[in-house]
Each structure stands twice: as structure tokens, then as C-alpha cells.
Amino acid sequence: MQFSPLIEELIQALRCLPGVGPKSAQRMALQLLERDRAAGKHLAEVLQLSMSEVGHCASCRTLTEEKLCRVCTSGRRNDQVLCIVETPADMLALEQSGVYDGRYFVLLGHLSPLEGIGPDDLGFDELVEKLRSQPVEEVILATNPTLEGETTAQYLLELLSSLPLKVTHLAQGIPLGGELEYLDGGTLSRAFSGRQGFASVKETNG
Amino acid sequence: MQFSPLIEELIQALRCLPGVGPKSAQRMALQLLERDRAAGKHLAEVLQLSMSEVGHCASCRTLTEEKLCRVCTSGRRNDQVLCIVETPADMLALEQSGVYDGRYFVLLGHLSPLEGIGPDDLGFDELVEKLRSQPVEEVILATNPTLEGETTAQYLLELLSSLPLKVTHLAQGIPLGGELEYLDGGTLSRAFSGRQGFASVKETNG
Ligand SMILES: [Zn+2]
Ligand SMILES: [Zn+2]
């Protein structure tokens, strides 16, 4: 025995959400049906609207229902620095850290031959075009420190080598509050090979 | 900085789902927007339809979009036994165990003065009416072994005492596969006070 067909369909449909297995999907469906139909209806409406209205920023490619995102339309950003990230979530994380005031370019993924994701899917032509037409002096490659992220950064580094630009990447090492004992070998090894003398702090910042 | 207004609204709306905090809601919204718009649209449609179409079975009160649920319309159930459960999920659990072939009555909750849930909300009048008009001989009180569930069972026991019925409840004790070491004191104490002699197995089943 199962629930009625429509309830079973709802439970199935909820499983498109990441991290939602059969048991949580059932709990979600029953909670909405038993206690919170108004919230369920509201979610249905916002979901419907989002799936059809949200597109990409015409300049940086991040997700937005507007033509240009808030960062691209802001007049208070540094036009000379462009930070390349993989996803809108990465862009948000950098924005929330408050350390960066330049512009962005969002790849919406990383190179992955296995998944069939190539340069065309990541807007590389658009990126080069943007760099040729705008006064960017430094490009920060902020892809993730994963195999795919670093392959993507490497590819970009070559692609951009013909342009008159400084290309940098985020420093890699031990995260703040990270305990040596719990860090993986890769992180430790990079922290070692990139170690800095105490005297060089000023030079590094300069 | 946040995402664009519509994306932020979607993240907020997803938090109506049980167990979904700000971080998972963000992950859900971005995954649907970046990778699975078709599934997101389908979820929106099924959700909309479910919230408006799913009602309650006219006979047992379980959730269903049909007038009567599959158990109530089945001709192969024992009409002489009625099992009272708190929720549609409890009813499904019993059905899936395959141990029961009678009819059900779903309270859709339990007595809870704190939450303002009284006898009227749980369909007690409807239940008594049903028991008067149908050939039920035994009522099984299968509310949960929680404070509210047992208060509800106690209330029902008194309510039904004037009717010519046998009223039973599910046996309480150690769950199959439960290890004594990890069981709470309440369960252990009930298992002790309800202990049975080996010789009485036949009597218990008879
Ligand atoms: Zn933008
Ligand atoms: Zn029914």
C-alpha cells in the first residue's frame, strides 16, 4: 500500500531536491498537507516563477531575474579587477566576506570532459571579448581547489596569456581555525611549499 | 549582498520544508536553477495541485485526493476491527507491515491543550457516529507511546466505554532488534511490568 496517487507523485517530485531521500520527501509532503498548505502554495508559486523568470546577468553570467545583476550595475566597484568564479554561490561567498570590490565573471561550472562540459559552455569567448573591451588590469582566478577547478584555471591561464593582463589566483594553505591534525595531505603540502618568512609579510602585501 | 530578489524569495520559501535550514535551502534553489529547471517546474505543478486537490477520506479522514481512500473502498477488509491512529504516516506504516486487515480512523493529530487541539479537531464525534452505525466489534487504540498520544488514548478509552466494544492497544516493550543497553528507562520499565511467562504464549495469542 502507498499513499494516494497525487500524494505519491508529490513525494517523488520532492526528491529532485538535493539531499532529499524517500523518508524526508514523505515527511515534507505530509507536513505541508497536514499543517501548512499556505506555505506549500506559496512555494509552488515562487518555484514556478523562479524556474521561468531567472536567467543570467548579461555581463557576468550570474543567476538573476534582472538583465544585469546588482554587482554589475553598481557604480562603486573597481573596474580594473575581474574575479572569475565557478558558481553564483562562490560569488556570494566572496561578496559576503567583504574582501573584494571588483567585478566578476561566473563560469557556471568547470571544465569536465566526463560530463561533456567544454570551453563553450563556460563562456570563455564572452570572457575574452569582455577583457578586450573593458579596462581590466588584473584577473583573479578563483576556481575551486579541486581537480576540475584547477584544470579550468590552468586552461584560462593559457587562454589569457596573450592579453596584457596580470593573472593571479587565491592563496592556498591552511584555513583560519583549521587544525593541522585534521587537514588533508594535499592542503598541508601546499601550505608547506608556499610557506612564507615572517619578514616577508610587508613584501607580500606590497 | 544577497542573490537577486526572486532567488532570495525562493530560498526563503524552501524553508517551509521540515529540516531545511538556510544553507540547504540555498543549495536546493541553486541546484534547481543551475541544473534542473524541468524538475523544478514539475515540482511546482505537483505541489500546486496537491495543495489544492488533496483532502480527507470521507470515511477514515486520511489524506487523499479521492472521496474515499483505497483502504475504505476495498472490499477485502475486516469491518469488525477499527484501528485508530494519529496520522496518515502511521496508517501507512501499519499497512506496510502487513499485520492488519481491518479498517482505520485517522485522528490527524493528538490532544494537546498547549497547541489548542481538542476533541473537536480530532473527529471524535465522527468516530462515535461511525462506531454506532457500523458493525465494529474491536477498536485498537494505536496512538503513539508519547505523553500526548497516551493522553489521547486515555480520553478515547473513556469516550468509548459506553459502547458495546472491545478496546485494545498495541503491546509495549522492547522493539525487535533493540539492544537493552540503548533503550530508554521508560521502555525498559514497561517491558518489565508487562513481562510474560514462556508458558503463556498460547494464551496470549488465543
Ligand atoms: Zn552581473
Ligand atoms: Zn479512508
Question: ipTM of this predicted complex?
Answer: 0.85
Q: Which ligand is nearest to the CA of B95?
A: 2
**In the structure grid, which three cell numbers stand for residue A80, read together?**
580594473
Nearest to A196 by CA among A173, A168, A170, A164: A173
Instruction: Tell me the shortest Cα–Cα distance from B194 to chain A, in angstroms.
Output: 32
| Domain span(s) for CATH 1.10.8.420 in chain B | 5-53
Single pTM value for the model: 0.84
Q: Which residues of B touch A60 (CB under 8 A)?
A: none
SS3 B117: strand
User: A43: buried, middle or exposed (CB in 10 Å: 19+, 13-18, 0-12)?
Assistant: buried
CATH number listed for the domain at residues B5-53: 1.10.8.420
Instruction: Tell me the shortest Cα–Cα distance from B205 to chain A, in angstroms.
Output: 26
CB under 8 Å to A78, separation ≥6 — which residues?
A: A101, A102, A103
| CA distance linking residue A154 with residue A176, whole number of Å | 26
Nearest to A171 by CA among A138, A203, A137, A196: A196
Cα-only R_g, chain B: 22
Cβ–Cβ < 8 Å for A143, A86 = yes
Separation of CA B39 and ligand 1 centre (Å): 26
pLDDT in single tens digits along all 206 residues of chain B: 689 999 999 999 999 999 999 999 999 999 999 999 999 999 999 999 999 999 999 999 999 999 999 999 999 999 999 999 999 999 998 898 888 999 999 999 999 989 999 999 999 999 999 999 999 999 999 999 889 999 999 999 999 999 999 999 888 887 877 787 887 888 878 777 777 777 544 444 43
Using the structure block, give the residue that is written with the C-alpha cell 489548542.
B116
Please tell me the number of Cα atoms within 13 Å of A183 on its side-chain side: 17
Q: Which residues of B touch A65 (CB under 8 A)?
A: 4-7
| CA distance linking residue A111 with residue A124, whole number of Å | 11
CB under 8 Å to A150, separation ≥6 — which residues?
A: A143
Instruction: Tell me the shortest Cα–Cα distance from B109 to chain A, in angstroms.
Output: 9
Assigned CATH topology for domain B63-205: Dna Topoisomerase Vi A Subunit; Chain: A, domain 2 (3.40.1360)
**Chain B nearest-CA residue for A16:** B39
Q: Which ligand is nearest to the CA of B57?
A: 2
Q: Which residues of B touch A5 (CB under 8 A)?
A: 65
| CA distance linking residue B10 with residue B13, whole number of Å | 5
| CA distance linking residue A70 with residue A63, whole number of Å | 11
| Domain span(s) for CATH 3.40.1360.10 in chain B | 63-205
